[in-house]
Chains A and B, each alone.
Chain A
């Protein structure tokens, strides 16, 4: 089975006036399918740049990145968009839901770009909302939902295209700790069901829910550790 992600000497430089800023330098790493990986580090460490590169939102200055064996350097912007659509799902710190559309419409949205018919989209979006436990909130708008519920809608949206990899940028950053635990429990659940997760966080407690932690500092990958993940479900029960 090919690795889900393989990078070699992945480097991203930004021009800053006369000089350049190295946001990411020489990162070589492989992630296997179905893994739950946390990218950790303080702000400016390069973890978000890493996530953007893995998410095909950005292109590396140097180095290679293979997603499921496919080298992304040679791909056209349209093909990259297709990769994002078929292989990747994004979850953001601030949820990024469309305010004037209900939960169902928000979850439906990514499928529009896959040329899926309206009926099929609605059915599948409803299924995804059931999956994240919001089957009874389908016609609520984001403003009518709590933060945790909004993040669940966002997760349903990320799942709806059946991605191989879920990319999460500080997914618990805007939530209280209990709701954050709930979201982590959902992530672990989805991960056990086979979805790989790459999560960016600055919080070691949150990173503990992943089975592998990549630590970044000054644009470099400085540590790559594996450990037994903390159980979010158990933590929830303890808290209760």
Chain B
């Protein structure tokens, strides 16, 4: 009602103007979400310390979820890389242990494996794709004016099949070169770097001890194994070349190998292959039924799988702990929202009196709870990513921040706010305005 003041009040004080406000446009009633958001930010800003402490609960939960998931994923990736480095479907046979007057030396100490065993494995066991006998020793390797102490490994050309090794430069050695005992060498990436720097080593000459070798290739990089050993710090030469020129041995040990690496055909049962190997060696070594094995057989995939399983268990456990802390954080949000509703009872009564609908009040308090939780969630994501880098650095694992886990954590923290904020917000919305306005 926009009515001009009657002239009778001309003597009214100057501070009182002459008319009331014009009617408002006919807008759709109700508060929009942006206003609810603004109100929530204002309410949280009015109690910064309290908001921060409450968000801390969610913060810890989310940071824990992200860090544990990232670390778990990193650990599994590590295991996966190990399997790849070893070659999947690989079984390694070591010599048995030695018992010298009661002192038992470890596996591989007994020189009871021969090059002929490797051939027998390929011949006798159908599931086997390739087998390579290997010997290895530490040698000084010289190229021009550089030298480097590294592992020199004599292997059959089958080793490339067993481990899926490829030449990054040059080529691998052939069966003819291996059989002919040719003095050809393949360098690991680290050795190539140490001896030749950036230059191409292919076609160059190196000397192992005093024997000259032609470098025919450089193997592609394999990285580290589980123990942190550099797999690229080695020189690979044909087995018989190694026996004749580098690691000469008496006639007794001439055909012996340190270990045999066996590749099983894709899709074959690893356990069955392992059993066949065991049986074969018991026959070849004429072991009586009640005697222990003379060789030690290790299935790398199995070892890796065990580790993978334990990594999984660990990350499930950690995720459960993280979920519990998120729950605790949610209860914290609920608690503080109840306090907030109690504190602002009069304000709620007032808002209802001036035309707020119950759903407006509900939206406002829900928004506040969700904001509170998201605040903790966002900070938790940042801390979680930082923490996973830190932990991965300490454990020497690759960092694998799972972005789906980050999205999930933020989503879950928002939902936590919604879930735990609903009851307090509903309490606020259901207040009796008359009672609320009377509250002190």
Contacts and interface: CB of A to CB of B under 8 A. Distances in A.
A113 B357 contact: yes
A112 B434 contact: no
Interface in A97-123: 98, 100-101, 109-116
Interface stretch (A37-45, A77-85, A208-216, A217-225): A77-85
Given A81-B356, A82-B355, A130-B17, A96 B346 contact: yes
Interface in B7-66: 8-9, 11-13, 15-25, 27-32, 35, 39, 42, 46
Contacts of B35: 112
A139 interface: no
A85 B9 contact: no
Interface stretch (A24-32, A156-164, A171-179, A198-206): A156-164
B12 A189 contact: yes
A90 B12 CA distance: 24
A162 B31 CA distance: 18
A128 interface: yes
A64 interface: no
Contacts of B17: 130-131
Interface string A123-141: 0100110110100000000
A71 to B, nearest CB: 20
B144 interface: no
B437 to A, nearest CB: 7
Contacts of B349: 96
Contacts of B39: 112
Contacts of A86: 355
A144 B218 CA distance: 81
B103 interface: no
Interface in A54-88: 55, 57-58, 77-78, 81-82, 84-86
Contacts of B30: 113, 115
B347 interface: yes
Given A85-B354, A111-B24, A127-B21, A194 B29 contact: no
B28 A162 contact: no
Nearest to B22: A162
A52 B434 contact: yes
Looking at B1, B21, B354, the one whose CB has the most chain A CB atoms below 10 A away is B354
A197 to B, nearest CB: 12
A16 interface: no
A50 interface: no
A190 interface: yes
Interface in A5-35: 34
B21 A162 contact: yes
B1 A164 contact: yes
Given A52-B434, A58-B434, A195-B1, A161 B31 contact: no
B351 A113 contact: yes
A193 B3 contact: yes
B108 interface: no
B156 to A, nearest CB: 80
Given A81-B355, A162-B20, A162-B24, A133 B434 contact: no
Interface in B404-436: 433-434
A192 B42 contact: no
A168 to B, nearest CB: 12
B5 A189 contact: yes
**Interface size of A as a range:** 35 or more
B350 interface: yes
A55 B353 contact: yes
Given A110-B355, A133-B15, A190 B20 contact: yes
Given A112-B35, A133-B15, A233-B9, A194 B24 contact: no
B360 interface: yes
Contacts of A98: 347, 350
Given A112-B35, A159-B20, A190-B20, A84 B355 contact: yes
Contacts of A193: 1, 3-5, 18-20
A3 to B, nearest CB: 15
B185 to A, nearest CB: 78
A89 B350 CA distance: 11
A124 B21 contact: yes
Interface in B331-369: 346-347, 349-360
Given A77-B358, A86-B355, A110-B355, A116 B346 contact: no
A126 B346 CA distance: 25
Contacts of A101: 42
B3 A194 contact: yes
24 contacts: A57-B353, A81-B29, A81-B358, A90-B353, A90-B354, A96-B349, A96-B437, A98-B350, A114-B29, A115-B29, A116-B24, A116-B27, A127-B21, A131-B20, A131-B21, A159-B20, A161-B354, A162-B21, A162-B22, A162-B24, A192-B8, A192-B9, A193-B5, A195-B20
Interface of A: 34, 52, 55, 57-58, 77-78, 81-82, 84-86, 89-90, 92, 96, 98, 100-101, 109-116, 124, 127-128, 130-131, 133, 157, 159-162, 164, 185-186, 189-190, 192-195, 233, 236
Interface of B: 1-6, 8-9, 11-13, 15-25, 27-32, 35, 39, 42, 46, 346-347, 349-360, 433-434, 437
Q: Across the A-B interface, give the 7 residue pairs with the lowest CB-CB distance, nearest first.
A: A85-B355, A133-B15, A194-B3, A110-B354, A194-B1, A81-B357, A115-B27
Given A84-B353, A109-B354, A113-B354, 6 more contacts: A86-B355, A111-B24, A113-B360, A131-B20, A162-B21, A189-B9
